Structure 1
Amino acid sequence: MQVLFKVVRQASNSTSYTQSYQLDVEPGNTILDCLNRIKWEQDGSLAFRKNCRNTICGSCSMRINGRSALACKENVGSEIARLQSIAASVSEKFPTSNTQTAPIPTITIAPMGNMPVIKDLVVDMSSFWDNLQAVDPYVSTSARHVPEREFLQSPEERDRLNQTGNCILCGACYSDCNAREVNPDFVGPHALAKAYRMVADNRDAQTADRLTHYNEGTRGVWGCTRCYFCNAVCPMDVAPMDQIGKIKQEILDRTSSIQSDPQAEPTSRSVRHRKVLVELVKEGGWIDERRFGLKVVGNSFRDLKGVFSLAPLGLRMIVKGKFPLRFEPSEGTDEVRSLIESVEQAESET
């Protein structure tokens, strides 16, 4: 069948443009097979990365019709079927739309996002590797001086590492990460998925230090916006966002166990965020926005810099009439409080 491939091309520090190539292909041909044919038969100047062709190395990650994927894994037939399914869904929801069917199926291929383009589909992955290095993705056994002995693990302990161990560092999650797009300090879902592998490994001797590091501002786990894009595009089912959630829970659990005084205010803003949210919902059924910012950002007036940082936002809210002058508890507050307390009691007993 005839398929039109639209490839987004670009040289370093120049404007991108789209170039079209038409091929006669089989449904089972992979996108990488088609790119190879384009390069060998039509345009030898086209640049892209490839290596194993077997979904092992992760080299051929690129954006295929708007989502990051491995070119060696996706085939023409399944990609066209996916596009047709999307088009049918749009037509069903918007029957009066002027959507026209292309004369032949079209597949658009572009370089990965969140990384500068070197040439065509080849991107500079320096920030990807630097952020991976920043989480120190190596097991540390420096505190255990046991000569001539292996650090053995039970099957159950090893099984905890299987999912994150499947990561092939293809960059698909990093490419589609919304948090990384708006926050250049965020290390990225790939790094935090690897970070959880270290946290979950019972042989590691630096778990406490790691959790402190991953808890820092929006560079670590609290920078994740929970958009689920990383889970959706991961070709190896690593589910990076799920691993980020596990690190968050480890941080919260350790913080809770360290604090002997239940009335003490947690020093970490991220932990304070969770604690204050639960307290306010228990008290009023939903969140009192006036107190939430002061307690979380201002640490109940202990952090004056945080309090003053709220002033511009507060003034804009007042000017636009969006600052709540009073707070009214929601209906069913007692039931909400009872449910939360039941869950807390069950967790403490566990």
Structure 2
Amino acid sequence: MQVLFRIIRQEPGSTPRLQEYQLEVEPGETILNCLNRIKWEQDGSLAFRKNCRNTICGSCAMRINGRSALACKENVKSELDRASQIFNPPTASEALPTITIAPMGNMPVVRDLVVEMQSFWDNLQAVEPYVSTAARAIPEREFLQTPEERSQLDQSGNCILCGACYSECNAREVNPDFVGPHALAKAYRMVADSRDDRAEDRLENYNQGTQGVWGCTRCYYCNSVCPMEVAPLDQIGKIKGEILQRKDSQASRSIRHRKVLIDLVKQGGWVDERKFGVQVVGNSFRDLRGLVSLGPLGLRMLARGKFPLTFEPSEGTTEVRSLIESVQNLNHQSASPSETP
């Protein structure tokens, strides 16, 4: 079958340009093999990264039809099927089936599909993703883990550092201080590792402002594009859970936001907007500057009839409260160390 490949190309110091290549391909042929053939048969100047070709090294991550993926994992048929679900499929009289390939986001382009990943590695280093030196300094015995302890590391340990989640991270795009989902997924691995002795220090570090877990906007893009099902957002949520267990609502606005949200939903089944801003931003009248900052927004809401003057609990509030408390109890039990005889 004939397929048109549209590739975003860019030379150092120049603006991006679109270049098209037509190729006769097999439906099961990988995108990486198609790129290889374009380079070998049509244009030797095309630049992209590759290595293992087996979904192990993560080198060939790029944006394929608008989302970051591994070129060695995705094939022509799957990409065309996916595109037909998102866009209107071409009719017989229209142009050839098309696959658009672009460099990853949130990183500067070096050339064509090759990006500079220094910020990616710097942010990974910032979370210190390795077992602490002090914890390793026990020469008289091995670090033995139970199967249960080791299983806590399985999902986050599958990360191959391809950069797909980092590329699609909305929080990283608007906040250059945010370390990124890849770093925080690795960070949780250290928190959960029974061999590490710095969990408390790590959690304090990951709790800082919007650089750590509170900078995540929970858009789920990182989960949707991860080729190894690491689910970075889930790992970020686990770190938040560990922090929330250790902190009260006065620790920071981010923590207060989460705790007040849960408390209000438990009370009424959904959020009472009259109380939410006052309790979170105004810290229940403790933060006068925060209260004043709510003034313009409150006035606009009143003027447009969007400020609720009354609050009616939702139906099934009792069931909602029971569900939340059950989840909280389960989380507490799973976080408590098991007793051994």
Common fold by TM > 0.5 = yes
Q: Does 1:120 align with 2:104?
A: no
Q: Read off the aligned partner of 1:183 and give its amino acid letter.
A: N
- Normalising by structure 2, we get a TM-score of 0.87
Change (3 A) 1:305 1:147: farther
Tell me the equivalent position of 2:59. 59
CA RMSD of aligned residues (A): 2.6
Equivalent residues of 1:164, 1:193 under 8 A apart: yes
Among residues 165, 177, 181, which one is paired with 2:169 in the alignment? 177
Tell me the equivalent position of 2:202. 210
Q: CA deviation at 1:331?
A: 5.0
Change (3 A) 1:82 1:159: same
Change (3 A) 1:14 1:312: farther
Q: Give structure 2 stretches of 5+ with no counterpart.
A: 335-341
State the percentage of identical aligned residues.
74
Tell me the equivalent position of 1:266. 250
For residues 19-64 of structure 1, the C-alpha deviation after alignment (integer angstroms, 9 at most, x for no partner) is 0011122223221111122122222221111122222211110011
Q: Read off the aligned partner of 1:122 and give its amino acid letter.
A: V
DSSP 3-state at the match of 1:156:
helix
Tell me the equivalent position of 1:94. none
Q: Read off the aligned partner of 2:30 and give its amino acid letter.
A: T
For residues 137-176 of structure 1, the C-alpha deviation after alignment (integer angstroms, 9 at most, x for no partner) is 1111415753332222122211221211111100011111
Change (3 A) 1:13 1:299: farther
Tell me the equivalent position of 2:134. 142
Q: Higher mean Cα deviation, 227-236 or 6-15?
A: 6-15
- Normalising by structure 1, we get a TM-score of 0.85
Superposition pairs of residues 132-171 of structure 1, within 5 angstroms = 132-142=124-134, 146-171=138-163
DSSP 3-state at the match of 1:118:
strand
Q: Read off the aligned partner of 1:159 and give its amino acid letter.
A: S
Change (3 A) 1:332 1:54: closer
Q: Distance in 2 between matches of 1:175 and 1:183?
A: 13
Q: Higher mean Cα deviation, 338-347 or 182-191?
A: 338-347
Equivalent residues of 1:141, 1:203 under 8 A apart: no
Q: Read off the aligned partner of 2:288 and give its amino acid letter.
A: L
Equivalent residues of 1:171, 1:190 under 8 A apart: yes
Q: Does 1:296 align with 2:288?
A: no
Change (3 A) 1:122 1:307: same
Equivalent residues of 2:135, 2:195 under 8 A apart: no
Q: Read off the aligned partner of 2:59 and give its amino acid letter.
A: S
Q: CA deviation at 1:16?
A: 1.5
Change (3 A) 1:293 1:4: same
Q: Give structure 1 stretches of 5+ with no counterpart.
A: 92-98, 260-264
Among residues 170, 191, 199, which one is paired with 1:199 in the alignment? 191
Equivalent residues of 1:141, 1:205 under 8 A apart: no
DSSP 3-state at the match of 1:4:
strand
Q: Does 1:308 align with 2:292?
A: yes
Change (3 A) 1:343 1:135: closer
Tell me the equivalent position of 2:96. 104
Equivalent residues of 1:173, 1:189 under 8 A apart: yes
Q: Read off the aligned partner of 2:63 and give its amino acid letter.
A: R
Change (3 A) 1:233 1:347: closer
DSSP 3-state at the match of 1:83:
helix
Q: CA deviation at 1:121?
A: 0.7
Superposition pairs of residues 243-262 of structure 1, within 5 angstroms = 243-255=235-247
Q: Distance in 2 between matches of 1:314 and 1:136?
A: 43
For residues 256-310 of structure 1, the C-alpha deviation after alignment (integer angstroms, 9 at most, x for no partner) is xxx6xxxxx4323233223222332343443221221121122222233433333
Change (3 A) 1:200 1:333: closer
Q: Higher mean Cα deviation, 36-45 or 191-200?
A: 36-45
Q: Distance in 2 between matches of 1:214 and 1:140?
A: 16
How many residues align structurally? 333
